Amino acid sequence: MNTFKRRLNILKKRKIEKKIDNFFGWVKGAELVELKSCNTKDDPVRPELDVVFRRSYGRKIYGVKYKKEIYAIMCFGFTNEVPKTVKELDLMTRDAYLKSAQRDQKIGKIAIAYTVWSKRRGGGKLIVKEVFKMIKKSNHLNRLITLSPLTEMARNFHLNNGALELQVNEETQNFEYKV
């Protein structure tokens, strides 16, 4: 009977380990890619912002891709100042974009992440890590800041991923990931 219980425990343990490997296995093969589009209705933070907004004036959409499937999405605007509202983000990204056209085509010094969502567990954390690496490699971006909603969920997400609270605004909150 002891042998039977030991074998049963070993089989249970292997089954659990296999589930964990399957669950997080995709993370190892995932890559950060720039997207031309995304389904904005899936965005739990700012579904009202259409793809034209997300891709205009140097703004970009990035995704974590694994086997032709997007597991998480993060949208950015590039500015030279920290916005407190989406309207300020729009104006600041336009300004940075227009100034870059007169100089070196490098838009803004600050990457402002204004929305992030995950389609798979672990995707949000992974995209933050991958975007952080991309920004560190850039030769013109020196800050990664969020324009997050005033929710406890957003606060916990960013604090748990290593960001520091920069400021709490009337409609939003900003967190900064040290580059």
Q: Is residue 9 part of a domain?
A: no
- Phi and psi (nearest 5°) for 54? -65, -20
Task: Give the count of alpha carbons within 13 A of 17, CB side only.
Answer: 6
Three-state DSSP at 47 gives coil
Give the domain CATH number at 55: 3.40.630.150
Q: Is residue 20 part of a domain?
A: no
Q: Is residue 17 part of a domain?
A: no
Q: Is residue 170 part of a domain?
A: yes
Indicate the pTM of the whole model.
0.80
Q: Is residue 8 part of a domain?
A: no
Q: Is residue 4 part of a domain?
A: no
Q: Residues 6 or more apart from 147 whose CB is under 8 A from it?
A: 83, 84, 85, 86, 89, 112, 113, 114, 172, 174
Number of domains in the chain: 1
pLDDT truncated to tens, each residue of the chain (179 aa)? 567 667 656 655 655 555 544 545 555 678 899 999 999 999 999 999 999 999 999 899 999 998 888 999 999 999 999 999 999 999 999 999 988 876 666 778 999 999 999 988 888 888 988 888 888 888 788 899 999 999 999 999 999 989 999 999 999 999 999 87
What radius of gyration do the chain's Cα atoms show? 20
Range of the domain at 165: 30-177
Name the residue among 55, 49, 25, 37 with its Cα closest to residue 122. Answer: 25
Angle at 141 between CA 137 and CA 142, to 5 degrees: 100
Q: Is residue 112 part of a domain?
A: yes
> What is the C-alpha separation between 80 and 109, in angstroms, rounded?
5
Q: Is residue 7 part of a domain?
A: no
